[in-house]
Amino acid sequence: MQPGESVTLVPSRFEEWGRRFAAVAARLEALVPEAHVEHMGSTAVPGLPAKDVVDVLVGVAAPDVVPTARRLVAAGFDLEGQRDHHCWLSSSSRARREVVVHVVEHGGRAWDRRVAFRDLLREDAGARRAYLAVKERAASSAHGWDEYTQAKSGVVADLLASDGSSERG
């Protein structure tokens, strides 16, 4: 996706997304055997519409976040950005995203919040409905992924706070 492009949500392809995750997870585990790898985001939640892009969380020790991202770049991933112990990369490229990989500190705040939010969406139909409503509004009005992500940040924080997960992570 190019900056300014609209975001398109597709009906859940949970089984297909699970297979795509399994393939990239096997590749990541071979490249970074010490990493913890999790399927995250809406593609990890049965029945939830999403962008047709699988989000993967890779957890490593804090000092290893940037070196791990460099290792993935050397293996063909496209480094899109980094900040504060968080690097994100895409495959096959940022223009043709099929997978986005987030490298973060395992057990750190970013790891814990993402896993907690995925688990909340898997377990709570009301949370899924609230999140989907915001996702649909964001997709219809946002110009690009950054704006789309920012438009959802409030509901993510609210749902985690109401679940008590913000205190855990």
How far apart are alpha carbons 43 and 49 in whole angstroms? 8
Residues sharing a CB contact under 8 Å with residue 34, sequence separation 6 or more, in sequence order: 60, 61, 64
Distance CA 86, CA 16 (A): 27
Domains of the chain: 14-168 (3.30.460.10)
- State the pTM of this model: 0.88
Q: Give me 158's structure tokens.
A: 């609210």
Which residues make Cβ contacts (< 8 Å) with residue 127, sequence separation at least 6?
120, 121, 159, 163
pLDDT per residue as tens, the chain (169 positions)? 445 567 889 999 999 999 999 999 999 999 999 999 999 999 999 999 999 999 999 999 999 999 999 999 999 999 999 998 999 999 977 778 899 999 999 999 999 999 999 999 999 999 999 999 989 888 888 777 788 888 888 788 888 888 765 444 4
